[in-house]
């Protein structure tokens, strides 16, 4: 039996940006010869194969197409060109508490989110205590999630996704909001899941944790997959260490805004 877990072949994804939504705006734009819409290629001819149990660090600047690629693998989006195939159940954490409904209680949201991630009722019931314990939301379980702090929101979301018993686990930069002890707990849990042979896709800028978590790094730049290989080399590649550029240039203040 073949062990490939994710097969991505020549995948591209375009976004169409429509500037004008009303007839009047469209007419005005046509008169002025402005473009009515523009396409933008978020992921450009990306191909790679991931073996079951591999742990992949996906790196790149903001806007380089990391989240789009993750959404394509998760199946939220379909590629415009190329094919994506995955094996087994995918649990993705594309955004914190995605799909939580603010008016519903934590408990109801837990069931709903679990079902969306593909768990059956019996499975959720079985793991319910474990999920609640891990999320550490205590007495807030029956309060509407709109009253939750962003940390609690993130904890519950992560806790549900990580307990799915998935074959592929996708984690976007979702842990950024948690506090340090919880982040640590999450990383430990992810390592545990990794140890059980789950394929992991981890998006992060934190080189130290990528080093410890991943076996392989993919670097996306403006939608192109420009690096695929060893972790150290990948981090090296992204930092352009070979470059002679001096450190003064780093003092540039406008760069901070992008991050």
Partner 1 sequence: MRAANKSAEAKKPKRHQTDEFGRRRNSKRKARKLLEKKADSMPVVELAGPKLERVVDAELVDPAPSGGIREVFRQTYLLRLIVSRQLAQMYAASLLGLLWSYIQPALRFAVYFFVFGVVLKNAHGGIPNFALHLFTGMVFVHYFTETWSGGTKSIWTNRALVLKMRVPREIFPVTSMMVAAYHTGPQVLILAISCAVIGWHFSFVGILAGLLGLAILITFSMALALIFSALNVFFKDFQNIVQTFTQFLHFLVPMMYAYSMLAKLGAHHKWAYELYFANPVAEAVMLLQRLFWAPTLEPKQYAKEFPPDLWERGFIMLAACLVLLVIAQKFFARLEGKFPERL
Task: Show contacts with partner 1 in window 155-214 (CB under 8 A).
Answer: 167, 175-176, 180, 183-184, 187-188, 190-192, 194-198, 204-209, 211-213
Interacting residues with partner 1 between 75 and 134 (CB under 8 A): 75-78, 80, 83-90, 92, 94-95, 98-99, 101, 103-104, 108, 111-112, 115-117, 120-121
Query: Taking CB under 8 A as the criterion, which residues in 240-259 touch partner 1?
Result: 240, 243, 245, 249-250, 252, 255-256, 258-259
CA–centroid distance for 145 within its chain: 22
Cβ proximity to partner 1, 125 vs 149, nearer residue: 125
Nearest Cα to 199, choosing from 94, 116, 87, 120?
87
Which of 38, 130, 232, 233 binds partner 1 (CB under 8 A)? It is: 38
From CA 103, how far away is CA 147, in angstroms rounded? Answer: 9
- C-beta of 229: minimal distance to partner 1 in Å? 15
* Angstrom distances, CA of residue 5 to CA of 87, 141, 166, 247: 5, 35, 12, 41
Q: Which two tokens stand for residue 94?
A: 């594309």
In angstroms, what is the minimal distance from the CB of 118 to partner 1?
9
Instruction: Compute how many residues bind partner 1; rule: CB under 8 A.
Output: 100
Q: Is 238 in the site for partner 1 (CB under 8 A)?
A: yes
Spatial neighbors of 216 by CB under 8 A, at least 6 apart, are 54, 55, 56, 57, 228, 229, 230, 231, 234
Whether the CB-CB separation of 184 and 38 falls below 8 Å is answered with no
Q: Select 78 or 126, whichever has its Cβ closest to partner 1.
A: 78
Number of neighbours of residue 176 by Cβ within 10 angstroms: 12
């Amino acid at each position: 039996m073949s062990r490939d877990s994710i097969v991505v072949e020549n995948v591209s994804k375009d976004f169409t940006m429509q500037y004008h939504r009303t007839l009047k705006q469209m007419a005005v734009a046509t008169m002025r010869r402005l473009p009515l819409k523009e396409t933008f290629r978020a992921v450009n001819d990306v191909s790679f194969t991931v073996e079951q149990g591999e742990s992949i660090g996906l790196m790149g600047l903001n806007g380089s197409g990391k989240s789009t690629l993750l959404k394509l693998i998760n199946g939220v989006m379909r590629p415009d060109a190329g094919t994506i195939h995955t094996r087994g159940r995918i649990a993705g954490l594309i955004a914190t508490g995605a799909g939580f409904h603010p008016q519903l209680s934590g408990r109801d949201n837990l069931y709903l989110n679990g079902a969306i991630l593909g768990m059956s009722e019996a499975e959720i019931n079985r793991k319910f205590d474990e999920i609640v314990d891990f999320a550490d939301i205590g007495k807030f379980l029956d309060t509407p999630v709109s009253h939750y702090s962003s940390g609690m929101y993130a904890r519950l979301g992560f806790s549900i996704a990580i307990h799915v018993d998935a074959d592929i686990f996708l984690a976007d930069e979702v842990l950024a909001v948690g506090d340090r002890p919880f982040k640590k707990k999450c990383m430990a849990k992810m390592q545990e899941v990794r140890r059980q042979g789950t394929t992991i896709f981890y998006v992060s800028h934190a080189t130290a944790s990528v080093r410890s978590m991943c076996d392989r790094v993919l670097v996306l730049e403006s939608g192109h997959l420009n690096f695929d290989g060893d972790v150290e080399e990948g981090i090296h590649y992204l930092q352009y260490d070979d470059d002679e550029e001096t450190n003064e240039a780093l003092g540039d203040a406008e760069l901070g805004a992008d991050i």
